[in-house]
Amino acid sequence: MNFQRGKQREEPEINLIALIDVLLVILIFLMITTSYTKMSELQINLPQAQADKSVEKPSVINVSVDASSHFVVNSTPVVFSGVEAFSVELRRAAGDQVEPTVVINADANTPHQSVINIMEASRLAGFSRVTFATQAGPTK
């Protein structure tokens, strides 16, 4: 027996406001409790750079070092016998130049200590301008 003949049944509806509130609470909880860690791996591919070449040429001392720590100062091979002796070689290469720029041309596989030795010898020689030569990398 159907006693509610003239009365229509209401369609059930889903209350979306409560659902959105619950989802926002879960989202806030996840954002607060999640620890954001950054991987501490180093992936270094050096040396490469892209820059415009300078127009004027300052006084330069070119120091090159290869992967097996053979040193060349202004196209002259130099035997590295210590930082102090190498600073004397740098002063000799500078000649009468007041404040030359020491350009370090280091191979990508050169030991880090060799580059530090050149920088220390430059400091002992009184040259404060030290820079590194790089090659142009592939353009993107």
Q: State mean pLDDT over 73-87.
A: 88
139 domain-assigned = no
Within a domain: residue 12?
Answer: no
Structure tokens that stand for 35 in this block = 């620890």
Phi and psi at residue 2, to the nearest 5°: -110, 100
Identify the helix (H) or strand (E) that includes residue 112: helix 112-125
Domain for residue 74, yes or no? yes
Q: How far apart are the first and last CA of the chain?
A: 79
Q: Is residue 104 part of a domain?
A: yes
Q: How confident is the model at residue 110 (pLDDT cuts 50, 70, 90)?
A: confident
Question: Which secondary-structure segment (H or E) carries 132?
Answer: strand 130-132
Q: Which domain holds residue 110?
A: 60-132
Total number of domains constituting the chain? 1
18 located within any domain: no
Condensed to tens digits (0 to 9), the pLDDT of residues 125-135 reads 888 889 888 77
Residue 92 lies in a domain: yes
The enclosing domain of 83 has a CATH number of 3.30.420.270
pLDDT score recorded for residue 42: 46
Q: What are the pLDDT digits (tens) for 32-66?
A: 888 766 554 445 566 666 766 665 666 888 898 88
pLDDT at 120 over 90: yes
**In the predicted structure, residue 6 carries a pLDDT above the cut 90:** no
Rounded Cα–Cα distance for residues 83 and 119 (Å): 9
Does the residue 10 lie in any domain?
Answer: no
**Residue 38 falls inside a structural domain:** no
pTM greater than 0.75:
no
Q: What is the 3-state secondary structure (H, E, C) of 17-65?
A: HHHHHHHHHHHHHHHHHCCCCCCCCCCCCCCECCCCCCCCCCCEEEEEE
